Amino acid sequence: MKRLIHPVSVLLLVLPGLAVAAEAVHIRPDLPSVTVETPEGPATIARNPDPEARLDGDWARTSRACPPFCIQPVTPAEGVKPIGELELLDMLADPDAVVIDSRTPDWFEGGSIPGAINMPWDRMAEKLDTLGCDLDFEGFTCGDEVPEIALFCNGAWCGQSPTAIRRIIAAGYPPEKISYYRGGMQAWRMLGLTVTGEGG
């Protein structure tokens, strides 16, 4: 997948009677945005350019009752690779990789990462055939041809992806083909990255 880079690196902010140059908010110094393919067509992922932007609502909450909302381990199962936003962007740009929002459909429809598909955590282990595994009488057989996948959910306190990961490994998916984005939607939003249903 080809990444499209926007050349603008400085924005001009106009205040009453004063023009001020402000540095652009890039993903990293050499990467203002990433364009990924989605079922609806190309989507550009960038950070919110407003340096005053803040999280609000549920995404600003820091504390949730544990259980069930306990802080999750960085590696939910042996062999699974923990990743951050840059690695997730690389996977989104790779046509052979699959990025999975493992939250329930209502959460997915309320805003997700562009290019991610929805496979709810509580049904994923039953649908490994959609990821290239073969169903047999013992369960699933997943060969070397299955794609690299990355799972995410709501954040470091969300157990949906870790649970799904452990279940799909038990069902036959190779752990070395799985990445886990623990930061999930809370970290994605905290960094001001594009969310579906919110202007792109």
Quote the pLDDT of residue 95. Answer: 95
DSSP string, the chain: -PPP-----EEEEEETTEEEEEE---SBTTBSEEEEEETTEEEEEEB-S-TT----GGGG-----TTTSPPPPSSSSTTPEE--HHHHHHHHH-TT-EEEE-S-HHHHHT---TT-EE--TTTGGG-GGGGTPEEETTEEE--TTSPPEEEE-S-TT--HHHHHHHHHHHTT--GGGEEE-TTHHHHHHHTTB--TTS--
Quote the pLDDT of residue 165. Answer: 98
Closest among 126, 133, 132, 115 to 181, alpha carbons compared: 115
Quote the pLDDT of residue 58. Answer: 86
The token duo for 199 is 């202007």
Question: What CATH superfamily is the domain 37-45+64-190?
Answer: Rhodanese-like domain (3.40.250.10)
Quote the pLDDT of residue 6. Answer: 42
Please state the domain extents for the chain: 37-45+64-190
Q: Which residues of the chain have pLDDT under 70?
A: 1-22, 198-200
Closest among 118, 125, 103 to 184, alpha carbons compared: 103
Q: What is the pTM (predicted TM-score) of this model?
A: 0.87
Phi and psi at residue 128, to the nearest 5°: -65, -15
Q: How far is CA 134 from CA 9, 30, 57, 137, in A?
A: 48, 41, 42, 10
Name the residue type at position 165: I
CB under 8 Å to 120, separation ≥6 — which residues? 102, 103, 104, 105
